[in-house]
Amino acid sequence: MAALVAVLIVVAAAGWALASPAIHQTARTVPPTGERGRQAANPLAIANLGPGGDRYAWVTAFPQVEGAGFLGTEEVGAYNRGGADAARLAVWNGFPAGRVIIVVVRVADASTATRVADRLDELQAGFGLQRLSPVRGLDRVSTVTFEGRFVTRALYTHHDLVVRIELRGDPDELSAFDGIVSDQLHALPAEG
């Protein structure tokens, strides 16, 4: 009996000794997850455009977006008719190209998101914005210049979300809009 226990101990020790380097090597090559790996991504993702933005991190619902005063009355109505619910808002003042405003709003469902985005797009024309060529595959893009400054807006949907990107600045900086849209699309891809 003692011999059997001794043999088992020797076999277990030999197995551990042979497998141990492989286990330790694997453990050293697995990248740590960190905080980002342990927290779920925000489904209402907004691009990080650098310092000076997202001063509205406290915004989590559409009434807070409405209260911030960046949307017109008709735009607020379009969102509300779509059942606006959860929302995020980020504003970058002092962005090299001007002020950037990104709004992401959850509405009732994906088809409602498309209707809300289309209605918002119609409103832009009513506000005097002119249609631009598609930017990064987005068709709902428009701009207007007044008092030597421009306002450019893009709208798109992602599932049941409506995304509104706005850049206000100097006409010479309009080319920066492409990069801003690209960053937002990386954070939250377009579906419509």
Dump pLDDT digits (tens) for 79-90. Answer: 999 999 999 999
Residue 192 clears pLDDT 70, i.e. is over it: no
Rg (the chain; Cα; Å) = 26
Tell whether the torsion through CA atoms of 12, 13, 17 and 20 is positive or negative: positive
Residue 52 lies in a domain: no
25 shares its domain with 68: no
Residue 23 lies in a domain: yes
pLDDT at 25: 43
Number of structural domains the chain divides into: 2
Average pLDDT estimate for 175-180: 88
Average pLDDT estimate for 5-32: 58
- Between the ranges 54-63, 64-73, 89-98, 145-154, where is the mean pLDDT highest? 64-73
pLDDT at 19: 62
**What is residue 180's three-state secondary structure?**
helix
Average pLDDT estimate for 120-134: 92
8 shares its domain with 79: no
96 shares its domain with 170: yes
pLDDT at 31: 44
Residue 57 lies in a domain: no
16 shares its domain with 91: no
Residue 126: CATH number of its domain = 3.40.1000.70
The 140-146 sheet, strands edge to edge: 87-95, 98-106, 161-169, 149-158, 140-146, 130-131
Say how far apart CA 100 and CA 174 lie, in whole Å.
12
Residue 30 clears pLDDT 50, i.e. is over it: no
67 shares its domain with 16: no
Tell whether the torsion through CA atoms of 174, 105, 130 and 67 is positive or negative: negative
Locate 38 and state its tokens: 């342990």
Measure the CA angle with vertex 171, ends 167 and 177; round to 5°.
Answer: 35
Residue 103 clears pLDDT 50, i.e. is over it: yes
Count Cα neighbours of 155 within 13 Å in the Cβ-side half-sphere.
21
Write out the residue range of the structural domain in which residue 16 sits: 2-30
